């Protein structure tokens, strides 16, 4: 009987190894362990084995049965691994977010959202600008210090330069748009600066301007007050103070209390306890005259702010240079 068991085992191993699918495996299992299967019939014949051989034959049958059952299971699992599921490449898949928005992009989006609710549109302008739009139309005469080579990066002196402020977009908009209008623009500006913790040769500005009949300084102050409280928080301290800008008359500046030192003075606020966030004012009458408007009939206001300082304030960044040195945490 021992030879019969070994013959059935070897034959079953060959059949299991040569099976091509689960249906064939199932038929082999039935042929081995079914009601009339080979292993089942061998088990029934144990009663005819002499008493002194039954224990040895029983152990051999159990080992054979266990071996064949394990082989059937392993072969069945191998078929599962090899099954290739049907795939439809046209089905839309969830978008995988890679990286993060740069802090400057985050701030621009947040600020634009506030001004959109105040009726402002969004525009853009060229970074390579002409002297005409960057200076002449903005009430900046030829001998004005802002035109100095120490402040402006000229590409082809004296007409072609990298814009030193986003006010150049203001002049282009006044030239091309018909009042009433309210517009904001965010973009890069360039100046010859000593690079330090709070200044850089390339920086972002956020510019806003409006032109229509009846605008006054109170409209400007209300707009800036609403923006500052909406963006920086109702508990943040704000102050307005008189300032001179050749593009506006009268001119004002808006300062926020320094969050890094709580007004005590530090390197970020240059020891003042306040951070200058923006300059603003009523558009100068000379600028309106440059475009053929009568200052007594139509007025406008403008404001410009250094975005980098707002980004530093928003994300508690102490050094402006870390925004543009390739730090992976800002990408």
Distance CA 165, CA 125 (A): 11
Q: In this structure, what is the dihedral angle of CA atoms 131, 135, 139, 141, given to the nearest 10 degrees? A: -70
- Tell me if residue 268 falls in helix, strand or coil: coil
- For every residue of 17-37, DSSP letters joined together read HT--SHHHHHHHHHHHHSTT-
- C-alpha–C-alpha distance, residues 312 and 262, integer Å: 15
Tokens read off for 16: 């299991």
Contact, 301 vs 280, CB < 8 A?
yes
Indicate the SS3 state at residue 208: strand
- Give the separation between CA 255 and CA 273, rounded to whole angstroms: 10
Tokens for 239? 């102050």
The label of the residue with tokens 């064939």 reads 24
Cα distance between residue 190 and residue 326, in whole Å:
19
CA dist., res. 128 & res. 123, Å (int): 16
* φ/ψ bin of 249: left (φ > 0), alpha (ψ from -120 to 50), beta (otherwise): beta
Residue 146: burial class (beta carbons within 10 Å; 0-12, 13-18, 19+) = middle
d(CA 250, CA 283): 8
Nearest in space to 32 (alpha carbons), one of 14, 57, 58: 14
- What is the C-alpha separation between 103 and 330, in angstroms, rounded? 7
Q: Is 170 annotated as a binding residue?
A: no
Binding annotation: 249
Question: Binding site for Mg(2+): residue ranges?
Answer: 249
């Amino acid at each position: 009987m021992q030879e019969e068991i070994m013959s059935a085992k070897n034959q079953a191993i060959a059949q299991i190894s040569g099976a091509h699918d689960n249906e064939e495996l199932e038929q082999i299992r039935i042929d081995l362990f079914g009601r009339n299967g080979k292993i089942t019939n061998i088990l029934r014949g144990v009663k005819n084995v002499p008493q002194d051989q039954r224990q040895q034959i029983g152990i051999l049958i159990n080992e054979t049965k266990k071996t064949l059952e394990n082989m059937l299971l392993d072969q069945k699992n191998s078929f599962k691994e090899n099954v290739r599921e049907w795939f439809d490449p046209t089905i839309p898949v969830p978008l995988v977010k890679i990286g993060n928005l740069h802090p400057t992009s985050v701030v621009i989006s947040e600020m634009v959202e506030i001004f959109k609710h105040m009726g402002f549109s969004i525009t853009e302008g060229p970074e390579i600008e002409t002297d005409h739009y960057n200076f002449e139309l903005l009430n900046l005469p030829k001998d004005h210090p802002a035109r100095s080579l120490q402040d402006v990066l000229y590409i082809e002196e004296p007409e072609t330069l990298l814009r030193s402020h986003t006010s150049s977009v203001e002049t282009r908009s006044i030239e091309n748009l018909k009042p009433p209008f309210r517009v904001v623009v965010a973009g890069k500006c360039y100046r010859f600066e000593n690079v330090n913790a709070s200044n850089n040769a390339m920086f972002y500005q956020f510019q806003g301007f409006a032109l229509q009949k009846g605008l006054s300084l109170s409209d400007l102050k209300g707009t800036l007050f609403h923006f500052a409280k909406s963006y920086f928080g109702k508990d943040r301290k704000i102050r307005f103070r008189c300032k001179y800008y050749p593009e506006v008359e009268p001119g004002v500046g808006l300062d926020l209390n320094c969050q890094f030192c709580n007004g005590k003075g530090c390197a970020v606020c240059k020891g003042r306890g306040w951070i200058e966030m923006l300059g603003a004012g009523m558009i100068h009458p000379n600028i309106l005259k440059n475009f053929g408007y009568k200052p007594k009939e139509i007025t406008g206001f403008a404001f410009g702010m250094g975005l980098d300082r707002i980004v530093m304030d928003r994300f508690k960044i102490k050094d402006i240079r870390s925004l543009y040195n390739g730090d992976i945490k800002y990408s």
